[in-house]
Amino acid sequence: MALLVVVVAAAAVAEADGGYGHQTHYPVKTIVKHRRYPVVKHQPYPVVRRVPVYKPVHKTVVKHVPQPYPVVKHVPVVKHVPVVKEVPVVKHVPVVKRVPVVEHKYHVKKVPVHVPVYVEKPSSGYGHH
């Protein structure tokens, strides 16, 4: 048992030196970075001081207790509204005269038309007869 402990201790020393007797091994430099991260912590509430409350004691007898609101008598309000006379509204509608519908396709209209009229005239002696 003791021999096993000595062998394990010797192996640990050899590994710490670089293993298998190599002395050219440089130790690894470790850098520790501090980063903030939230952690749930149970914190106690702040202590609240107890303050004594003083209650005054009156040595007088109260005969009349004041009412919280005064009683108001409700009076109906009369509102005078001017009387409006109703006037009938006259609506002027244009009267449309009914015209009988004629089924003709053409209508009669007097139009001046030039009609040639041939009249015998005595010739003046020039050119034509």
Query: Which alpha helices (H) appear in the chain, and where do they start and end?
Result: 2-16
Q: Which CA distances in Å does 26 have to 11, 22, 31, 32, 103? A: 19, 10, 15, 19, 125
For 72-99, the pLDDT digits (tens) are: 778 888 888 888 888 888 888 888 888 8
Eight-state DSSP code of residue 111: -
For 8-47, the pLDDT digits (tens) are: 666 665 555 555 555 666 777 777 777 777 777 777 777 7
Tally Cβ neighbours within 10 Å of residue 18: 13
- Give me the residue spans of the domains in the chain: 30-120
Among residues 40, 16, 39, which one has the least CA distance to residue 27? 16
